[in-house]
Structure 1
Amino acid sequence: MKETFRWFGNTDTVTLPYIKQTGATGVVTALHHIPNGEVWPIAEIKKTKSEIEANGLEWTFIESIPIHENIKLRKNDYTQRIENYKTSLRNVAECGIKNVCYNFMPVLDWTRTHLHWPLESGGTALRFDKVDMAIFECHLLKRKNADSDYSAEILQRADEHFSQMSDSERRQLQDNVLMGLPGTVDNLTIPVFQEMIAQYEGVTHADLKANLSYFLNEVIPVAEENGIKMAIHPDDPPFDIMGLPRIIKSEADLDDLVNFVDSPANGITFCTGSLGANADNDLPKMIRKFSDRIHFLHLRNVRRETDGSFYEDHHLEGSSDMYEIVKAVLEIEKARGMQLPMRPDHGHQILYDLDTKNAYSGYTAIGRLKGLAEIRGLAMGISKSVDM
């Protein structure tokens, strides 16, 4: 696998020289200062690319060129936003970058209720807690009919927990859920969020899939013309939340995706954490099935709990079998005669990084370096002990 590391630009506490020290050769980043839906100018692309290359690294994957909400809803100025997206694709290709990750999740990117959940080891992890999500939806967001999405047991536990929470704890939960990554949603408040999700009222899974299909049929020909591989990221978490439909969460969804446009340019970012949070997904089987459409790998592990909660576990532990996952990846790499770009995802906050301020949650240096080293060692062990 080609080892890469996520970088959030010059505001990131993990600098390019630090990434160089991990042994990774590639950087995964985006123009986070460009507003969602606007064209990426060639000058800005070249500026970021030159900075990465000046540190002895390669800009391997763009993550992401965000998709404007009007495209997802196919309303208002969605046609102009799609034209902007096509122009951005042409511009990045002109700058020599040919891999683009994106997602089609309504309103928010990945969602967690805890950004610093304490682990027995002394570190912290990202966590999605079903009870706390019910608290957010029913008591803080006060979404209409939200209680119908939760069991009576979850709702009772949520009521009891909410009554015991302080104002600061309630505020922290709200901030955690509404946190957006750079370039997606910033400074989101409850009233603004209520307006945003209201746009999706009545939008079904079939509607959203139809809108994704429309988008792909518009942009994949441009990607093909410019030698670009598009790679959709699965929904995280892989189930409906806040009344918003999730449409890339299972093997059946990925079947639909590849059938929307039959092109090698229409591919997948295979995230073992996002897909692994769905107990119905057989990850090694899916890797082999979609072998020719997987263009990018996010390797991490989540520990699923019986009530639908999960947290980010150690990369080689958790509910997914990372040995079988990496083995499947190495098999398809051999068959394709290439290395797939991979990045270790959502590391624990440990050691000196526990004192790091203003870091992006899940993206501190040492936890991801630990995950990268573990995956690197696992891959070497498999390749030397199994006929690859």
Structure 2
Amino acid sequence: MRQTWRWFGPTDQVSIDDMLQAGVQGVVSALHHVPTGDVWTPEEIARRQQEIATRGDGSPSGLAWDVVESLPVSEAIKKQKGEWRQHIENYKVSMRHLADAGIEIICYNFMPILDWTRTDLAYRVAHGGTCMRFDAVDFAAFDIHILQRDGASDDFLDTICAEADRRFAEMTDARKQELTRNVAFGLPGSTESLTLDDLRAHLAEYGRIPPEQLRANFIAFLEEVAPLAEELGLRLCCHPDDPPFSLLGLPRIMSTEADYKAIMDAVDVPANGITLCSGSLGARPDNDLPGMMRRLGDRVHFLHLRNVQRESDQVVGSFHEAEHLGGGTDMVDLIAAVLEEEARRRKAGRKDASIPFRPDHGQDILDDLKRRAQPGYPAIGRLKGLAELRGIITALEHPAFGLSRGS
């Protein structure tokens, strides 16, 4: 398992030097400043590679850009509207440029409008640190009372609607503004964000696109890009919906094992693969993460390892980001399943036997509380998570457990 770290570029409050001290082996990054739908040029790709390869004092870091996260899929492609065909062609050009630069793994998602959704970016937990949280009641209050989406109340349980009414009535203007910013935060690291009017305009178009049509649009996209990825030696890996259930009446098509299997079967080439995110998928009580890894592991090209604490047994329920070894996912069993898959790949002679992973998200602890890094991406919280994950890997790879590198 190759240990990587997400880096948002030169403006990231967590530096290349910080990553080196964390002991990572590779870097996950993207060109967040390039507008979605535009081509990633060789010059911009080379600039990011050089930034990653250089310490703060100008000396070599020894690190390389291992995984692209994300090469974003435009809303035009998802909806098959406007310049969607040109955007697909631009996507292919960017893929060629990345392959020419020696980068082999591209993570992306097919979530409508919002990349991930949280209602609180600094929820205080018992030990005094903070984390990101999705509160189902706060979200209902946003949807029904702030966004005022038609039919919003029909999408929530009556008890949730009643509590949302009470909570909204007690909200200060400052909290209403904060909640709106949090929900419409946009892509991590992106310079793009959404206003309420932007969100309403997108929703008006998506309201006419049922899940079956969105899935068909996704398959049409994959039929264009996956064969090219195979030709170029690239591995595409789709990130799941976050959270893995419908929000704002939007279709969600990558929330369960069945969703992934349908897409893998529809475009059945090895390059068409999975980003297995234990946090996103783990927010849904009927997702079995170790089982998914064992059943779909052949197509898992990238791993996000994090944990969430579900606060109810409802599919659409509140949850918060837990410590990496806390929460609802059995991280030891999941990592054991990954190591089993890697052993199978080594035996088969696959060059992708070592699956890259990153310690996804993390709680803000200690000096993280002053650093104000990208929400969800603290330095010390992720370092703590990586150390815990590294400890599990080290223990399970010990010969006594039968998952050593030579098995």
Which TM class, normalised by the smaller chain length?
A: over 0.9
**1:352 alignment partner in structure 2:** 367
Cα deviation for residue 186 of structure 1 reads 2.2
Which residue number in structure 2 is paired with residue 365 of structure 1? 379
1:102 Cα deviation from its structure 2 partner: 0.3
1:387 matched to 2:402? The reply is yes
Aligned to 2:350: none
Q: Given residue 27 of structure 1, which amino acid in structure 2 is its aligned partner?
A: V
Instruction: Please show how residues 308-387 of structure 1 align to structure 2 within 5 Å.
Output: 308-337=317-346, 338-357=353-372, 359-384=373-398, 385-387=400-402
Compute the displacement of 1:370 (Å). Answer: 0.3
Q: Identity across aligned pairs (percent)?
A: 50
Q: Counterpart of 2:19 in 1: which secondary structure?
A: helix
Which SS does the other structure have where 2:27 is aligned? strand
Deviations 1:204-253 (A, max 9, x none): 11111000000000011111111000000000000000111110010100
| C-alpha distance in 2 between matches for 1:257 and 1:314 | 31
Rounded to whole Å, the distance in 2 between the matches of 1:205 and 1:128 is: 23
TM-score normalised to structure 1 length: 0.98
Number of positions where the alignment pairs a residue of Structure 1 with one of Structure 2: 387
Counterpart of 2:57 in structure 1 is: none
The answer to whether the Cα contact below 8 Å between 1:109 and 1:184 also exists between their aligned partners in 2 is: no
Which residue of structure 1 aligns with residue 160 of structure 2?
154
Query: What is the aligned partner in structure 2 of residue 16 from structure 1?
Result: 16
- Whichever residue aligns with residue 370 of structure 2, its letter is D
* DSSP 3-state at the match of 1:290: helix
Amino acid at match of 2:115: D
For each residue in 1:336-356, what CA deviation from the matched residue of structure 2 results, as whole angstroms up to 9, or x when unmatched? 122110000110011011011
Residue 181 of structure 1: how far off its partner (Å):
2.5
Letter in 2 for 1:380: T
The 4+ residue runs of structure 1 with deviation greater than 4 A are 182-185
Amino acid corresponding to residue 366 of structure 2 in structure 1:
L
Q: Which residue number in structure 2 is paired with residue 135 of structure 1?
A: 141
Retained in 2: the 8 A contact 1:66–1:183?
no
Q: CA deviation at 1:123?
A: 0.2
Determine helix, strand or coil for the equivalent of 2:207. coil
Q: For 2:187 and 2:93, locate their aligned partners in 1 and report how far apart those are by CA, in whole Å.
A: 23
**Match of residue 57 from structure 1:** 63
Supply the RMSD in Å over aligned alpha carbons: 1.1
Report the secondary structure of 1:292's partner residue.
helix
Q: Which residue does the alignment assign to 2:119?
A: 113
2:211 and 2:190 mapped to 1: Cα distance?
22
SS at match of 2:252: coil
Structure 2 spans left out of the alignment, 5+ residues? 55-60, 347-352
Counterparts in 2 of 1:7 and 1:183: CA distance versus 1, 3 Å = closer
TM-score, with structure 2 as normaliser: 0.93
Distance in 2 (alpha carbons) for counterparts of 1:377 and 1:183: 29
Paired position in structure 1 for 2:58? none
Partner of 2:129: 123
Aligned to 1:138, what secondary structure does the other structure show? helix
